[in-house]
């Protein structure tokens, strides 16, 4: 039997194993890996997860949104073990409630992945700069998307200027938009009906 740690789908934490005849089996191993987390939302909104190497040590770390609870940043310390560095990194004080989705990208081209957390009711999204030393700083007012139920976001260089742009989706106003590195809407304003 082959066993792999599944990085692309994280529900709690799962271990994927193939039994040789093509069947996939999942096991809950979050506690084994040192992962204790719950996304709590009175609005029945699912939580977000980002798997990325925040400290460039070659190990994939985990960011989990908390909804009405603080978000968590879990540092991979090797051997499938994770350490909660939410407080020491500053994440716990930056995003202590109102989060839904999360995505990462290097917004300032410094070699370290930064974090964008989307906000649910009454919360704006937060752009959080990776300082490159294990800590993060909120870029206050960097994302001006209001407080109307943002759900998910994705980075990409849409205008091909060498800097990441971000698409932020919303599920109440049915509006998504792309912001460039100057916080300007570019490309199109997409309205779902």
Q: How does pLDDT run across 117-176, given as a tens digit for each residue?
A: 988 777 788 899 999 999 999 988 777 666 667 778 889 888 888 888 888 887 766 555
Residue in 3, 30, 2, 1 with CA at minimum distance from that of residue 14? 30
Residue with the larger pLDDT of the pair 9 and 105: 105
Query: In the chain, which ranges are E strands?
Result: 2-5, 14-18, 24-28, 49-52, 61-64, 72-78, 81-84, 99-105, 114-119, 126-130, 136-138, 150-156, 165-170, 175-179, 185-191
Shared domain for 21 and 44, answered yes or no, is no
Judge if 19 and 53 occupy the same domain: no
Confidence at residue 161, expressed as pLDDT on a 0 to 100 scale = 85
pLDDT at 39 over 70: no
Domain count across the chain = 2
Is 93 in the same domain as 120?
yes
What does the pLDDT look like over 42-57, one tens digit per residue? 665 667 899 999 999 9
Q: Residue 124's domain spans which residues?
A: 38-191
Say if residues 145 and 125 touch (Cβ distance below 8 Å).
yes
State whether 153 and 76 are in the same domain: yes
């Amino acid at each position: 039997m082959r066993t792999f740690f599944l990085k692309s789908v994280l529900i709690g934490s799962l271990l994927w194993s193939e039994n040789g005849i093509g069947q996939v089996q999942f096991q809950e191993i979050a506690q084994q890996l040192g992962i204790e987390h719950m996304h709590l939302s009175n609005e029945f909104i699912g939580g977000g997860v980002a798997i990325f190497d925040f400290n460039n040590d070659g190990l994939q770390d985990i960011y989990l949104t908390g909804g009405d609870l603080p978000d968590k940043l879990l540092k991979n310390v090797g051997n499938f073990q994770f350490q909660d560095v939410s407080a020491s990194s500053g994440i716990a004080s930056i995003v202590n409630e109102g989060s839904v989705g999360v995505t990462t990208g290097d917004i300032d081209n410094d070699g370290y992945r930064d974090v964008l957390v989307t906000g649910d009711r009454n919360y704006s999204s937060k752009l959080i700069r990776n300082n490159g030393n294990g800590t993060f700083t909120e870029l206050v007012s960097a994302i001006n998307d209001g407080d109307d139920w943002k759900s998910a976001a994705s980075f990409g260089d849409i205008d091909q200027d060498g800097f990441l742009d971000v698409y932020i989706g919303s599920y109440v106003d049915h509006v998504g938009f792309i912001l460039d590195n100057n916080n300007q809407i570019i490309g199109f304003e997409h309205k779902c009906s």
